[in-house]
C-alpha cells in the first residue's frame, strides 16, 4: 500500500505521518510526504527518498508526482492555512488554495483514478452562525466570512464535483480548530505562548490580544489526524465529516489558564490591529457523524483544553 501525504511538513501533516508510522496497520505501507520549501522536522521521521519538495500549484509537477508515486491513498493537506494572515493578500490565498486543489484532482483523475483522496476543508467554511444553529453539523449553511473560508469551500466542493462528475473516490473532512506541538505562531495558542514567554523574560510588558470573547472548538491535533486516518478507512465516498471536540472554549478562558501558569503577572492589552474584520462569535462542532463511524477523542477526553497546552 502506498500513502501520500501532501503538506507533510506542516502542523497536521507531520502529526499525521507520525500517526501512520506508529500504526501497526501501516507498518508495511510506503509512506510519502510532500513539502514546499524546507522539509524541517519531516526529515527526522521520513527517509529522504520519500520526501518530495514540490510546488503543488504547478500541475505538471503534480501530475509527474502522482504518476511516479501511484498512491492508493492521498491525504491532501497542503494549503495556505492561517485565517488571520489570509486578509493580507486575499487573491493570493484564494488562488493558491484553488490551484493546489485543481492540480491534485486533475492529476488523480488522469494518473491514479482509483486512489482514495481525503479533501481537507475547514470549520471556517461554515463561518457565520446564528445562535440557534449551534452546534454545527455538516448541513449547516456555508457562510464563510474570510478568504480562507471561501478557499476551503472551493476546495471542498471541488472534491464533491470530481466525485460526482468523474467518480473519484473522495472523502471530505471539515476539521475545527486544533492545537498541539509544532503549531506555527500564526495561530492563537502558540502566539499567546510566545508573548507570555516574552513577558516572562522581560522583553515586553504585556500580552497584546484581539477578540477574547470568541468561542472556538479546540481539539488535540493527534485526535484530528487519527480522524483523518479513520475517514480514509471507513468514510463513505463523496460524504463530508466534521472533526471537532464538540466543546466550546472562550478564548479569554484559554488565555486566563495560560496566564495562571506564567511565572510573572501578565497584563492584557486589547489591540484593535489584532481584531479580525469579521470575527465569528461562536463555533462548536457537532461531531456525531464522525463518532458514528468510530472516531474517539483520546488526547483530551479527561483533561480540559488548558491542561493540554
Contact mark string toward a second copy, 269..288, x via CB under 8 A: -------xxx----------
H runs (alpha helix) in the chain: 11-22, 59-69, 90-111, 147-166, 188-200, 221-234, 251-260, 288-292
Contact mark string toward a second copy, 73..92, x via CB under 8 A: --------------x--xx-
Q: Is 49 left (phi over 0), alpha (psi -120 to 50) or beta?
A: alpha
Binder of a second copy out of 13, 144, 180, 248 (CB under 8 A) = 144
Binder of a second copy out of 160, 257, 259, 299 (CB under 8 A) = 160
How many other C-beta atoms can be found within 10 angstroms of the C-beta atom of residue 121?
A: 25
Spatial contact of 211 and 270, defined as CB atoms under 8 Å apart? no
Cell output for 9 = 511538513
How many other C-beta atoms can be found within 10 angstroms of the C-beta atom of residue 286?
A: 18
Which span (100-108, 184-192, 201-209, 283-291) binds a second copy, by CB under 8 A?
Answer: 100-108
Q: Which position has the grid cell 497536521?
A: 12
Cell output for 301 = 477526553
| Rounded least distance, CB 185 to a second copy, Å | 23
Select 63 or 220, whichever has its Cβ closest to a second copy: 63
| Rounded least distance, CB 113 to a second copy, Å | 13
Binder of a second copy out of 123, 147, 207, 209 (CB under 8 A) = 147
Element (H, E) at 118: strand 116-120
Spatial contact of 226 and 161, defined as CB atoms under 8 Å apart? no
| Rounded least distance, CB 109 to a second copy, Å | 9
| Rounded least distance, CB 163 to a second copy, Å | 9
> Which positions lie near a second copy, rule CB under 8 A?
59, 87, 90-91, 94-95, 98-99, 102-103, 105-106, 127-128, 139, 141-147, 149-151, 153-154, 157-158, 160-161, 164-166, 276-278
Amino acid at each position: 500500500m502506498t500513502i501520500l501525504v501532501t503538506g507533510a511538513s506542516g502542523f497536521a501533516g507531520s502529526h499525521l505521518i507520525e500517526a501512520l508510522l506508529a500504526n501497526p496497520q501501516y507498518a508495511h505501507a510506503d509512506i510519502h510526504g510532500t513539502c514546499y520549501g524546507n522539509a524541517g522536522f519531516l526529515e527526522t521521521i521520513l527517509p529522504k527518498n520519500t520526501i518530495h519538495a514540490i510546488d503543488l500549484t504547478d500541475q505538471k509537477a503534480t501530475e509527474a508526482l502522482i504518476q511516479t508515486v501511484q498512491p492508493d491513498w492521498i491525504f491532501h493537506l497542503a494549503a495556505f492555512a492561517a485565517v488571520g494572515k489570509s486578509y493580507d493578500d486575499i487573491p493570493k490565498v484564494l488562488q493558491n488554495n484553488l490551484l493546489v486543489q485543481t492540480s491534485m484532482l486533475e492529476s488523480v483523475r488522469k494518473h491514479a483514478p482509483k486512489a482514495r483522496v481525503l479533501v481537507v476543508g475547514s470549520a471556517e467554511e461554515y463561518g457565520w452562525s446564528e445562535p440557534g444553529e449551534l452546534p454545527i453539523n455538516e448541513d449547516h449553511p456555508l457562510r464563510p466570512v474570510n478568504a480562507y473560508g471561501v478557499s476551503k469551500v472551493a476546495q471542498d466542493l471541488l472534491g464533491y464535483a470530481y466525485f460526482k462528475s468523474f467518480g473519484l473516490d473522495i472523502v471530505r473532512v471539515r476539521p475545527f480548530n486544533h492545537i498541539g506541538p509544532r503549531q506555527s505562531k500564526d495561530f492563537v495558542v502558540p502566539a499567546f505562548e510566545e508573548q507570555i514567554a516574552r513577558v516572562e523574560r522581560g522583553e515586553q510588558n504585556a500580552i497584546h490580544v484581539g477578540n477574547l470573547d470568541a468561542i472556538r472548538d479546540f481539539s488535540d491535533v493527534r485526535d484530528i489526524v487519527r480522524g483523518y486516518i479513520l475517514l480514509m478507512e471507513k468514510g463513505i465516498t463523496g460524504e463530508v465529516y466534521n472533526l471537532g471536540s464538540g466543546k466550546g472554549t472562550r478564548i479569554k478562558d484559554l488565555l486566563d489558564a495560560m496566564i495562571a501558569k506564567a511565572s510573572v503577572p501578565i497584563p492584557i492589552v486589547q489591540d484593535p490591529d489584532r481584531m479580525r474584520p469579521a470575527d465569528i462569535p461562536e463555533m462548536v462542532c457537532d461531531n456525531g457523524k464522525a463518532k458514528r463511524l468510530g472516531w474517539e477523542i483520546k488526547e483530551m477526553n479527561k483533561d480540559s483544553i488548558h491542561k493540554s497546552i
